[in-house]
Amino acid sequence: MGNTSSTAVQKCLTSAVGGNTALWAYKGTPLYQLNHVKPYNLDIPVTPAVVTYPQTVDHVAAIVKCAADNNLKVQPRSGGHSYGNYGLGGADDAIVVDLKNFQQFSIDKSSWQATIGAGHLLGDVTKKLHENGGRAMSHGTCPQVGIGGHATIGGLGPSSRMWGSALDHVQEVQVVLANSSVIRASEKVHSDVFFAMKGAGASFGIITEFKVRTQAEPGESVLYSYSIQAGDAKAKANAFKKWQALVSDPNLSRKFASQFILSELGVIISGTYFGPKDEFEKLNISGRLPNKDESVIVLKDWLGVVGHWAEDVALEIGGGIQSNFYSKSLAHTKDDMIPDSAVDKLFDFIATTDKGTPLWFIIWDLEGGAISDVAPDATAYGHREALFYSQTYAVNLVGRVPQKMRDFLNDFNKIVEESLPGHDLGAYAGYVDPALGESGQEAYWGGNLPRLQQIKAAVDPEDIFHNPQSVRPAKA
């Protein structure tokens, strides 16, 4: 853009937000990085041109017009938890549209459809749905994540096998397009835009409001945690083989959620069963796993269940804490199980490699179930057939992520990928991986990418909604 404090942009933005200069801050504002930019991944420095705080959909539309008229890129920010800081544009000189003021909420007590503003954090969504009829929807475990990004990229969580992903709950959106028009999109109206927003939203527009289906809260849930007594690499590998066999059982109950978590502290298998304890015990999960210290809690309070997930997730990056980290993911279908020989090699590698940090963890997260009921080309989300994801993290608490930490995660993925030649595993766009470069687009959206590129050419030909790995317009 050149001069970010240019009079033209400032005048335009001031007009866009009705003359209220408190609703935007530009590069050069005192404490700009601390108070306005707030990057999530401190390893990726980004300085957007302007951070805006619109209060109405008309404000958003006018801000988008300012960006287009001044040749600037735009990215929405809901909770600000993008691993690549893509809510800040992912590169310098974008306009950020922070949606924190969009807190509207209502629920139709006959259809149980909820209307949720795009500024809500997941913790607030849980609380408001609970308070308005004991309702719920699928979403992830971190309460500080914003619904705006979460429900436009996937939105996977413990209840997704039972109810689908967060974006599968979305039935209609109000969205601002690149030409600054405001539309409502659903399967019946502006269906191409609706398809794109459900999996690749940040490339196509800014959602200000969601209409979502909701579910009745489960009456009782079982929270289980097994600390596996596995000292050496061979014992840990054996535990993973048993877990992989368990989760690949095609008859496994959809009420069952599970994670296999490996860290410096050892192996934990944990999750939730959405039903009473006697049902859970009939699954004989305990008998299908190796020696362990067992913890099983029964909760009838839904807020308690969701709150417990947030405590568990302290092991992950998941919280609201900024840090320097590197992360990668792989998607495995039922046809991409890791062969036993590769599991052995993988756990030997993990045991013997200098990781460059004591703070690392690997999470294999069970998916499938209701997520896989939706056709792969029904929404932009690219991994309907994924049975589980691996998520690898390395965190540096004292500065930039060194190459040794990156090499550890890269080599981990390489061992897995080389054990499955000819398999294109792909990656989850919710765990955005800037290291993939533009090949990330194929990894995130797979076979849906060509259609997304065509829609992009139709609704955002100038690529106004842009980040380093966003969908690019199809070439004419």
Sign of the CA dihedral with 424 first, then 332, 390, and 119 last = positive
Enumerate the β-bridge partners of residue 325. 395
Of 463, 475, 474, the C-alpha closest to 203 is 463
Q: Do 452 and 437 belong together in one domain?
A: no
Is residue 320 domain-shared with residue 303, that is, in the same domain?
A: yes
Tell whether 2 is covered by a domain.
Answer: no
CATH of the domain at 34: 3.30.43.10
C-beta separation of 4 from 28 below 8 A: yes
Are 76 and 131 in the same domain?
A: no
In terms of domains, do 406 and 380 share one? Answer: yes
Same domain, 94 and 39: yes
Task: Provide the domain count of the chain.
Answer: 3
- Together in a domain, 147 and 87: no
The answer to the question of residue 473 being in a domain is no
Q: Give the pLDDT of residue 313.
A: 53
Given 76, 98, 120, which residue is the final one in a domain? Answer: 98
Q: What is the CATH number of the domain that holds 179?
A: 3.30.465.10
Domain boundary among 98, 128, 143: 98
Return d(Cα 78, Cα 100) in angstroms, integer. 6
3-state secondary structure of 282: helix
Establish if 417 belongs to a structural domain.
yes
Does 467 reside within a domain?
A: no
Query: Is 476 inside any structural domain?
Result: no
Q: Which residues of the chain have pLDDT under 50?
A: 1-4, 318
Q: Determine the pLDDT at residue 129.
A: 98
- Domain match, 239 and 337 both: yes
Q: Is residue 422 part of a domain?
A: yes
pTM: 0.95
In angstroms, the CA 462 to CA 418 distance is 39
Instruction: Please provide the DSSP assignment of 190-233 as one string.
Output: SHHHHHHHHHHGGGT-EEEEEEEE-EEPPS-EEEEEEEE---SH
How far CA 111 is from CA of 3, 173, 189, 459, in Å, comes to 50, 17, 20, 32
Res 180: pLDDT = 97
Answer yes or no: is 469 within a domain. Answer: no
Does 175 lie in the same domain as 32? no
- For residues 276 and 284, what is the distance between their CA atoms, to the nearest angstrom? 14
CB within 8 A of 363, min separation 6: which ones? 259, 260, 261, 262, 316, 390, 391, 393
Same domain, 60 and 201: no
42 and 52 part of one domain: yes
Domain that holds residue 453: 105-217+444-459
Q: Which stretch of DSSP H or E encloses residue 61? A: helix 57-69
